[in-house]
Chain A
Amino acid sequence: MHPDKEFLLKLAQGFIPEPSDEELKYLALLNRERVTRPLVMVNSSISGVVAGARETWAAIESYVAERSLDIELCESGSIGLSSEEPVVSVQMPGKTRLFFSKVKAENVHSLLDDVIHHVIPEQMLIGQLRREGQEAWPDVPFLDEIPFFSLQSRVLLEDCGIIDPFSFPEYVARGGYRAFLQTIRSQTFSEVCDLVIRSGLRGRSGGGFPTGEKWKSAFETASDQKYVICNAEESDPGAFMDRTLMEGNPYQLLEGISIAAYAIGSNRAYIYIRSEYKDAIERITRAITELRSMGLLGDNILDSGYNLQISLRKGPGAFVCGEETALIASLEGRRGMPASKPPYPTQSGYLGQPTVVNNVETLANLPLILKKGADWFRGIGLPGCTGTKIFSISGRARISGLVEVPMGTSFGTIVNEIIGGVNKGRTLKAIHVGGPTGCMIPPHMMDIPVAYENLKEVGLVMGSGGVLVMDDKTCVVNTVRYFMEYVDRQSCGKCIPCREGTRRMAEILGGITRKPADDEGQTTLERFKGVMQLEHLAAVMKDTSLCGLGQNAPSPVVSTLKYFRKEYEEHIFDRKCTSNTCSELRTWYIDVDMCTGCSICAKRCPAEAIIGTPTHPYFIVQEKCIGCGICYEVCKFTAVYYK
């Protein structure tokens, strides 16, 4: 089926207010309300591929080829259930679409056999997608009835995992591009800025700066060349919402960028994307090519007199490039180091011209705001903090994945109700919000409605939306040390408080999570001195660092010292890690029944802490043990264990 270009453009411009029966039929085919042959969709984004989606795809292909079936096989993005991958959905003609989880290559055979014969394989089933005009499967829950989906309000993610990300016709048939095309025909630049100010949209990358105000400032700066940069760097470990949006619905982002560019009167936009995001890069590149061939990018877009070019730039990878001035430096071909503000990028940014930098999630909101109106957007969330926010949940959660909730929803609801808490038999210890420069929130603080100001009041941050769930088998100090080592590596080195402060903090935390090699000399003293200085060091870094990275770098330490002080004290005074995560603090024992007295552990022990006579069980002298665990690795009789 080759969709008619003219028809699509008419549709996108809203020139078909009352479609004829034939056109309606065609539309239903395009937006897959109706399929003429079974449709099988496999999530081919990275979370799926890691879980084995490529093998699943190959298995489906060979299944179809063997039986010479007439089936449409198609790639999709992720519906947000990362821990349930590979997710496969099947739509039989006339019926609603069914979603299945953990469809490995070996399950393909039985799954397709069942579904084609209208039987439902219960053990893999997630649910069915509610859609008008389609007959529902009996006794199958709708997706919006399952707790994971029912408590969310999926506005941005609505089409992710449902549509074919490569298909422009499908995006248009679902109402896409109308917002942009109507805007460039009927609204002035400043009207769009005002509309976005009225909607209350704020930047989703952490700072929460009002998007419309930013645009207005760039719009009002006189210059003949202005730039829009989409920040798709997303280098926080544990954050994957921007990636999922790009992989699942690239046209939505491109429409958003187009709207932003129009609003500030710019005709040049860049997408600065992390070079590791290969799938997202491929999808965006293909989408840009498609838009060019449709005449929706380029000179004089559909005779409106408006020109726009969007190009993709691969970011070579640096955490600090999430900061807008550093990102601009990187685009200009320099080291990604932040500059002091003012001047703000909206006055003097890329190549000295007014530049607006917005992140993916912010921009993806725009088509929806323009389509449904500022008042609709204001109706979601809290006054002063409108709209939804996507959180990416990872760590020890029962379900890892993407959760989109209205602003003002508490972390308690997200963690306990939507993702169902932690795994069975474990208890929730804390959640870490906002990546390496975020903060740790104990369970009793999780009832605060999530909004920029509410969290700030109690000294917490929202960050970009990564949520790391921690259970009782994880160690707070160890996690903080991990983040501090990460920030230490990623600090650009321009300002001293950040460069030296993060290094010192990582060293101090490293000292706490290790046993001192001996009690003599400086080591013990250094441990105590370091800990006493942590808080002071944190305050200095916060006050004197140049950019957000350095200012927020100590916040994991500050928040954990406040809420998990006991755990620090255990590590320092008792030299004990209750969760046994800090491997160098483990206490090792030798099982007398298992030990054969081969003496290999005693020979390899670097601290000479193992004593005994050959052929008799050996013994570890705890006072000498430095906890390196070599005895455990060399023992052939599994006689060494830790408590």
Chain B
Amino acid sequence: MTETARINEILERFPQIKRNALIPLLQAIQDEFGYISETAIGRIGDHLSLPTSKVFGLATFYNQFSFASRGQYHITICNGSSCHMGGSGELLSEITKMLEITDGECTRDRLFSLEVQSCIGACGQSPVMAVNDKYYAGVEIKELRAIIKKYRKDASG
């Protein structure tokens, strides 16, 4: 199915043309594609009779929405207060150095993408990171390097 067809299908689920459908709609798009594309923003605007600027303005206000597609391995780093104390800042700069990406970006080979969360809620195991659905607790720099290496190897088969 093409992107437009998938977007249309989601839009059909929200028949009411009301402003308070905007956030649930954006969330549905984000859940489906992992990010919100320019096309999607335009289509949502048409559907709800809102200017594109309003839709984009709202989407950029909230943390949940991202505008770049996700990589094969989506890395989430918790930067809550407890994880910060446990050294999440160093993990972040290590990732930035290794993969040359920052929050909300994706590597050029579409392998890794990075997201910084404000708090995952597992403060007892800080610092916490996740790759797709797999969580890693009490991560140290050395371990982080090994984790990324492992996924690189997995990808190259």
Contacts and interface: CB of A to CB of B under 8 A. Distances in A.
Given A316-B63, A317-B63, A334-B19, A238 B122 contact: no
A316 B137 contact: no
Contacts of A484: none
A190 interface: no
Contacts of B10: none
A235 interface: yes
Contacts of B81: 237-238, 394-395, 432, 435-436, 466, 468, 479, 482-483
B65 interface: yes
B40 interface: no
Interface stretch (B1-9, B104-112, B123-131, B149-157): B123-131
B96 interface: no
B85 A82 contact: no
Interface in B83-118: 84-85, 90, 117-118
Interface string B59-76: 001111100000000000
B141 to A, nearest CB: 10
A114 interface: no
A400 to B, nearest CB: 4
Given A51-B137, A243-B121, A238 B63 contact: no
B27 A235 contact: no
A318 interface: yes
B125 to A, nearest CB: 5
B19 A47 contact: no
B59 to A, nearest CB: 8
A313 B24 contact: yes
Interface in B1-58: 18-24, 26-27, 57-58
Interface residues of B, number: 36
Contact of B79 (A235, A237, A275, A319): A237
A334 B58 contact: yes
A51 B130 CA distance: 12
B23 A238 contact: no
A237 B119 contact: yes
Contacts of B24: 313-314
B80 A316 contact: no
A82 B82 CA distance: 12
Contacts of B21: 333
B123 A336 contact: no
B119 A50 contact: no
Given A316-B27, A333-B22, A83 B124 contact: yes
Interface string A237-280: 11110010000000000000000000000000000000111000
Given A50-B135, A235-B119, A479-B81, A336 B125 contact: no
Contacts of A479: 81, 84-85
Contacts of A401: 124
A486 B119 CA distance: 11
Given A318-B61, A333-B58, A335-B57, A276 B124 contact: no
B61 A492 contact: yes
A400 B123 contact: yes
A330 interface: yes
A277 B21 CA distance: 21
A479 to B, nearest CB: 7
B148 interface: no
A639 interface: no
B125 A85 contact: yes
Given A51-B137, A318-B61, A82 B27 contact: no
Interface string A328-339: 001111111000
Contacts of B84: 237, 479, 482
Contacts of B119: 235-240
A474 interface: yes
B120 interface: yes
A332 B58 contact: no
A374 interface: no
Given A50-B125, A236-B119, A237-B119, A333 B19 contact: yes
Interface string A72-106: 00000000011111000000000000000000000
A365 interface: no
A332 B19 CA distance: 7
Contact of A331 (B20, B27, B123, B137): B20
28 contacts: A50-B120, A51-B122, A51-B137, A83-B125, A235-B119, A237-B81, A237-B119, A238-B119, A238-B123, A275-B64, A276-B117, A276-B121, A313-B23, A316-B23, A316-B62, A333-B18, A334-B58, A335-B57, A394-B123, A395-B82, A395-B85, A400-B82, A401-B124, A468-B82, A479-B81, A479-B84, A482-B81, A583-B90
Interface of A: 46-47, 49-52, 81-85, 235-240, 243, 275-277, 313-314, 316-319, 330-336, 392, 394-396, 400-401, 432, 435-436, 466, 468, 470, 474, 479, 482-483, 486, 492, 583
Interface of B: 18-24, 26-27, 57-58, 61-65, 79-82, 84-85, 90, 117-126, 128, 135, 137
Which 7 A/B pairs are nearest by Cβ-Cβ distance? A82-B124, A394-B123, A83-B124, A237-B80, A400-B124, A316-B62, A317-B63
